[in-house]
């Protein structure tokens, strides 16, 4: 049957046009109930449909067999409840799905996953195309009211339809809605309807499920005093008008990690002025949460403030103690120099909430038998959240996940609900799970949908695979990697040609052969973006069958590769370059140490060793050329743990030692990346995926220049070449470690390297490598960017066909945005993992005394580096409840005088290191200065420190990542 739908639409020019669309209605759409003989069989698809005899939780409200049918708002807000294994046999209407899709992409994805789960028996019913459930919008009826009516019509139809099934027990459809009006109308129409809370509380065997209810309505949740604390948020329509007219500014809200009464808003757009606005004080912060998109109103200039240097953690237990907050706000308003004042504003409305589920711990209420408790998130930038739970005794000392539901004007804290218990705080598995969740690292096992696109085993290379490929199995190819590496991306070969020149080949795993564009495996890899390496765990970007087997270039097996082959002379000058898909058979999988031993051995002269020696010789020439060109050789201490084979706890901690062979492999990888970048850019100037490293603004170098000057050394920063040369000259015979310290400090001045699309940018330069163009080609097993680069190169050399998304610069730019985010989060997660394992190491050590060097001087502290462990920490000279020593900070030198002892950058000191576990959620390494001895200090004083590898570095600590 054909009907038509009419709606009005406004054009860009402002005219209103009537749109009429044909709308097909059918009578062969199945109801999804397994026992139904009236409907045609359900077509094959995700999920199993509704059970003939609904199993699930027993309800005191509806003891008989029943299906559930939620409305849109219930699905949006109570998705945590619907995902619980107890809730089964749910009908999700097309009307509801479409509304959810328009209102929340994350919830839409979650409900699609639930529908696809065969154990849940959720069924998606296409009510908008069913002859008996489709309804027209009536005159004067809003879209919302029409949709509510469509849902009620579908419930009624289901109940009538199911009555006709000849079965002993009739199945009832229960309508779940939290909308009072909708519920009343449903009851008037004879429909059985309950609120989510009524139904969940009726589940006899599952009282804990009540804790997962989102408190959507704020009625009854109000603080007893009912006092209004926050200004009202301006409605979205008015905000948008205000932003257009310039009254308000739109930006991303970034809460401070050190001061819960302060935040900054990064304003969107290209305006140079007022790029960063400070927000100070509870009322001005006005219920915004870290990463929300907010509207801000600038305050008058005489109300501007300076960024606060005070550390304030929200530790109060009393929710009503607003007077105490005002007292703390006054601490921030100290007299400051006029030059320090920054544009200041207040949050007037929220444009988009960016709430996510938060990990943390329950701060149990002091009141006996209380159900309302505060939850303290692990991320200090997130406010505490009030939740209701009957399991407080069980959850104390556990890491849990909580979701925010809303933040009423009269509540000091947002309201939320309990989602999940992760396990005991401090436990290794639990803490690893927390750091993965907090850094948004996708780490769930690969779904069946993704795994279905893997090659069937046993796998072998077919005739079809050999098309467009060169057979290079005769070459003496070998790989050089860290010990224990199973995901081998790259291999090398080197041989002398008859004309006296040298042929060098870099062979990279051909991952794009196995991951085809647009399938579920490709989408999952793109979402993950990168493999994440934690201290004891690897979160793969691609399933293990590929990462550790079929794509890994292991020795003595045939593997598919993408090869970059150069003809060079003995001065390492490139004469010819070619790219080809290939098939190789690696002759040896070596570690860096094994390769080094072969190169250094006087007795070994086999093909592999000869090849390695040639490669090493050429690599040294390439490196010298690169450095002469202005490339930087920086330093950042990398830590390595030695684990106990049984307990898997760290028993030793040392900095990684880099061998000549590390540098050898790196040189050829860099060369391959540059060669491929040039090739794909020449071929696709508008949509090459490249990587750039912006030059730091001159002010970033201030700290480096001052630190070098304090040791009578000059560091020039006007170009990368000048910087590289002055770092090479900055030697002190009496202080050999000084040069390493300067290079570590230089790393901290750097900007982050990023992926970008060539058609959307015109600055391609890679500052750290001094290369005019660069990309990532050499690690496709662990980086998705490299897979895209492989696809572009394959099209460029005629080895594969293109597809629309590959040549869409806007889609590529969006992809780069995700890849940059995933890489940044992977870095932070890796640092957090090192921090946690460092804490485990010092847990069993007691107090350790070590040599350290001062890296930074702060107003009330010094940041030190301990070379032995590659560990960084802050020694504070102020402590709660103890007299503060006399502190004199000199920004110019820079130096800090504590009582009569002056401390400079790069001074050698001795510190005591110990673990402070007083706050189970934020355990930290404490460091105390032992030498030089500060007058009046008693060692080992329990002075606080933060380990630098906390979850994230400060904004200034931007690291160079090639």
The tokens of 562 are what?
């993408």
pLDDT at 960 over 50: no
Q: Which of 379, 427, 429, 436 is nearest to 402 (CA)?
A: 379
Answer yes or no: do 410 and 339 share one domain: yes
pLDDT at 813 over 60: yes
In-domain check, residue 320: yes
Q: Can you tell me the distance from the alpha carbon of 94 to that of 25, in angstroms, rounded to the nearest whole number?
A: 14
Q: What pLDDT does residue 763 have?
A: 86
Q: Which of 333, 339, 367 is nearest to 261 (CA)?
A: 333
pLDDT at 492 over 70: yes
Answer yes or no: do 273 and 154 share one domain: no
pLDDT at 852 over 90: no
Answer yes or no: do 85 and 146 share one domain: yes
In-domain check, residue 951: yes
Comparing 711 with 574, the larger pLDDT belongs to 574
Q: What pLDDT does residue 951 have?
A: 38
In-domain check, residue 286: yes
Answer yes or no: do 782 and 927 share one domain: no
The model's pLDDT over 163-202, given as tens digits with 9 standing for 90+, comes to 887 665 788 899 999 889 999 999 999 999 999 989 998 9
Q: What pLDDT does residue 871 have?
A: 78
Answer yes or no: do 362 and 460 share one domain: no
Residue 452, classed as helix, strand or coil, is coil
Q: What pLDDT does residue 400 have?
A: 92
Lowest-confidence pick of 212-216, 285-289, 358-362, 498-502: 212-216
Average pLDDT over residues 241-255: 91
Answer yes or no: do 154 and 281 share one domain: no
In-domain check, residue 763: no
Contact status, residue 309 vs residue 859, Cβ threshold 8 Å: yes
The model's pLDDT over 625-641, given as tens digits with 9 standing for 90+, comes to 988 888 887 766 555 65
Q: What pLDDT does residue 279 have?
A: 92
CATH no. for residue 242?
Answer: 2.40.50.690
Q: What pLDDT does residue 956 have?
A: 33
Average pLDDT over residues 457-471: 88
Answer yes or no: do 675 and 813 share one domain: yes
CATH no. for residue 866?
Answer: 2.40.50.140
Q: Can you tell me the distance from the alpha carbon of 785 to that of 757, in angstroms, rounded to the nearest whole number?
A: 11
In-domain check, residue 429: no
Answer yes or no: do 551 and 637 share one domain: yes
In-domain check, residue 768: no
Average pLDDT over residues 365-394: 84
Average pLDDT over residues 597-616: 91
Answer yes or no: do 413 and 453 share one domain: no
Comparing 250 with 840, the larger pLDDT belongs to 250
Answer yes or no: do 312 and 457 share one domain: no
Contact status, residue 248 vs residue 295, Cβ threshold 8 Å: yes
In-domain check, residue 806: yes
Comparing 120 with 870, the larger pLDDT belongs to 120
Which of 408, 424, 440 is a domain's end point?
A: 424
CATH no. for residue 99?
Answer: 3.40.50.1010
Comparing 125 with 869, the larger pLDDT belongs to 125
Average pLDDT over residues 445-450: 90
Q: What pLDDT does residue 186 have?
A: 92
Contact status, residue 343 vs residue 277, Cβ threshold 8 Å: yes
pLDDT at 709 over 60: yes
pLDDT at 216 over 70: no
- Strands 861-866 and 502-509, bridge-based pairing: unpaired
Q: What pLDDT does residue 477 have?
A: 95
Average pLDDT over residues 235-247: 89
Answer yes or no: do 121 and 248 share one domain: no
pLDDT at 917 over 80: no
Q: What pLDDT does residue 1 have?
A: 54
Query: Helix 660-683 to helix 784-796 angle, to the nearest 10 degrees?
Result: 50
pLDDT at 859 over 80: no
Which range marks the domain in which residue 89 is found?
Answer: 2-204
Q: Can you tell me the distance from the alpha carbon of 473 to that of 583, in angstroms, rounded to the nearest whole number?
A: 6
Lowest-confidence pick of 424-433, 919-928, 953-962: 953-962
- The residue whose two tokens read 């308003």 is 333
The tokens of 260 are what?
């819960």
Which of 170, 204, 238 is a domain's end point?
A: 204
Please give the tally of structural domains in the chain.
Answer: 4
The tokens of 309 are what?
């240097």
Q: What percentage of residues in the chain have a pLDDT greater than 90?
A: 35
pLDDT at 124 over 60: yes
pLDDT at 327 over 70: no
pLDDT at 220 over 50: no
Which of 376, 391, 424 is a domain's end point?
A: 424
- Strands 122-125 and 172-176, bridge-based pairing: unpaired
Answer yes or no: do 474 and 417 share one domain: no
The model's pLDDT over 336-368, given as tens digits with 9 standing for 90+, comes to 556 678 889 999 999 998 888 899 998 877 776
Lowest-confidence pick of 9-23, 584-598, 722-736, 897-911: 9-23
The model's pLDDT over 676-695, given as tens digits with 9 standing for 90+, comes to 999 999 999 999 999 999 88
In-domain check, residue 550: yes
Please give the mean pLDDT across all residues of the chain.
83
Q: What pLDDT does residue 219 have?
A: 39
Q: What pLDDT does residue 151 have?
A: 94
Q: What pLDDT does residue 950 have?
A: 37
């Amino acid at each position: 049957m054909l009907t038509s739908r009419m709606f009005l639409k406004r054009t860009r020019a402002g005219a209103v046009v009537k749109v009429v669309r044909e709308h097909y209605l059918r009578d062969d759409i199945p109801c999804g109930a397994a026992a139904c003989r009236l409907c045609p069989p359900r077509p094959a698809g995700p999920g199993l449909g509704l059970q003939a005899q609904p199993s699930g939780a027993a309800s005191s409200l509806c003891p008989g067999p029943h299906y559930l049918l939620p409305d849109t708002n219930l699905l949006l807000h109570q998705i945590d409840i619907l995902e619980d294994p107890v809730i089964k046999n749910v009908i999700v209407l097309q009307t509801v799905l479409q509304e959810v899709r328009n209102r929340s992409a994350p919830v839409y994805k979650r409900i699609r996953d639930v529908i696809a789960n065969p154990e849940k028996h959720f069924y998606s019913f296409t009510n908008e195309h069913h002859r008996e459930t489709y309804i027209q919008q009536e005159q004067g009826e809003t879209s919302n009211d029409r949709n509510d009516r469509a849902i009620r019509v579908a419930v009624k139809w289901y109940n009538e339809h199911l009555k006709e099934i000849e079965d002993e027990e009739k199945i009832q459809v229960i309508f779940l809605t939290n909308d009072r009006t909708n519920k009343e109308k449903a009851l008037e129409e004879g429909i059985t309807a309950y609120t989510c809370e009524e139904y969940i509380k009726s589940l006899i065997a599952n009282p804990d499920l009540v804790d997962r209810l989102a408190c959507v309505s704020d009625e009854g949740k109000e603080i007893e005093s009912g006092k209004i604390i926050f200004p009202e948020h301006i409605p979205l329509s008015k905000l948008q008008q205000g932003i257009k007219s310039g009254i308000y500014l739109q930006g991303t809200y970034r809460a401070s990690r050190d001061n819960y009464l302060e935040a900054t808003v990064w304003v969107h757009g290209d305006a140079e002025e007022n790029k960063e606005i400070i927000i100070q004080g509870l009322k001005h912060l006005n219920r915004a949460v870290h990463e929300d998109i907010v509207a801000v109103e600038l305050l008058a200039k005489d109300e501007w403030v300076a960024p606060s240097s005070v550390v304030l953690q929200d530790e109060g237990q009393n929710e009503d103690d607003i007077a105490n907050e005002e007292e703390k706000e006054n601490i921030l308003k100290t007299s400051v120099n006029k030059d320090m004042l920054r544009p200041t504003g207040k949050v007037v409305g929220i444009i988009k909430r960016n709430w996510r589920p938060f990990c943390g711990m329950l701060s149990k209420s002091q009141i006996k038998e209380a159900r309302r408790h505060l939850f303290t998130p692990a991320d200090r930038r997130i406010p505490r959240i009030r939740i209701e739970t009957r399991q407080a005794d069980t959850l104390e000392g556990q890491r849990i996940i909580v979701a925010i539901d809303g933040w009423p004007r009269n509540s000091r804290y947002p309201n939320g609900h309990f989602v999940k218990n992760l396990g005991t705080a401090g436990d290794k598995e639990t803490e690893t799970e927390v750091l993965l969740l907090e850094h948004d690292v996708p780490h769930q096992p690969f779904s069946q949908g993704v795994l279905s696109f893997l090659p069937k085993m046993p796998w072998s290379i077919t005739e079809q695979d050999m098309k467009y490929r060169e057979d290079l199995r005769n070459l003496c190819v070998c790989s050089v990697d860290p010990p224990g590496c199973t995901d081998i991306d790259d291999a090398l070969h080197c041989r002398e040609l008859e004309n006296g020149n040298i042929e060098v080949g870099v062979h990279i795993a051909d991952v794009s052969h196995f991951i085809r564009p647009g399938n579920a495996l490709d989408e999952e890899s793109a979402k993950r973006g990168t493999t994440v390496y934690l201290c004891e765990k690897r979160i793969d970007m691609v399933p293990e069958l590929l990462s550790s087997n079929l794509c890994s270039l292991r020795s003595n097996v045939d593997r598919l590769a993408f090869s970059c082959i150069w003809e060079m002379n003995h001065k390492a000058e490139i004469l010819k370059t070619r790219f080809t898909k290939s098939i190789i058979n690696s002759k040896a999988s070596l570690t860096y140490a094994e390769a080094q031993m072969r190169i250094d051995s006087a007795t070994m002269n086999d093909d592999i060793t000869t090849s390695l020696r040639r490669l090493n010789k050429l690599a040294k020439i390439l490196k010298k050329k690169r450095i002469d060109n202005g490339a930087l050789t920086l330093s950042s201490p990398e830590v390595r743990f030695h684990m106990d084979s049984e307990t898997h706890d760290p028993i030793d901690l040392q900095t990684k030692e880099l061998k000549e062979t590390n540098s050898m492999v790196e040189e050829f990888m860099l060369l391959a990346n540059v060669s491929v970048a040039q090739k794909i850019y020449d071929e696709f100037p508008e949509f090459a995926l490249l990587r750039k490293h912006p030059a730091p603004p001159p002010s970033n170098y201030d700290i480096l220049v001052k630190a070098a000057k304090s040791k009578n050394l000059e560091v020039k920063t006007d170009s990368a070449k000048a910087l590289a040369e002055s770092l090479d000259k900055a030697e002190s015979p009496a202080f050999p470690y000084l040069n390493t310290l300067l290079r570590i400090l230089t790393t901290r001045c750097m900007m982050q390297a990023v992926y970008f699309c060539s058609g959307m940018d015109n600055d391609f330069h890679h500052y750290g490598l001094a290369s005019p163009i660069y990309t990532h080609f050499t690690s496709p097993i662990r980086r998705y960017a490299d897979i895209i680069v492989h696809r572009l190169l394959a099209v460029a050399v005629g080895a594969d066909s293109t597809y629309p998304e590959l040549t869409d610069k806007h889609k590529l730019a969006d992809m780069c945005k995700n890849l940059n985010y995933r890489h940044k989060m992977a870095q932070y997660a890796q640092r957090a993992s090192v921090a946690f394992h460092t804490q485990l190491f010092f847990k069993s050590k007691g107090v350790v005394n070590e040599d350290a060097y001062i890296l930074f001087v702060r107003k009330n502290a010094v940041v030190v580096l301990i070379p032995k462990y590659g560990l960084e920490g802050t020694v504070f000279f102020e402590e709660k409840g103890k007299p503060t020593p006399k502190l004199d900070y000199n920004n110019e030198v820079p130096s800090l005088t504590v009582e009569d002892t002056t401390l400079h950058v790069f001074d050698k000191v001795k510190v005591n290191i110990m673990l402070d576990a007083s706050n189970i959620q934020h355990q930290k390494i404490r460091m105390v200065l032992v030498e030089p001895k500060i007058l009046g200090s008693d060692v080992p004083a329990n002075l606080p420190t933060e380990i630098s590898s906390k979850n994230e570095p400060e904004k200034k600590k931007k690291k160079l990542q090639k």
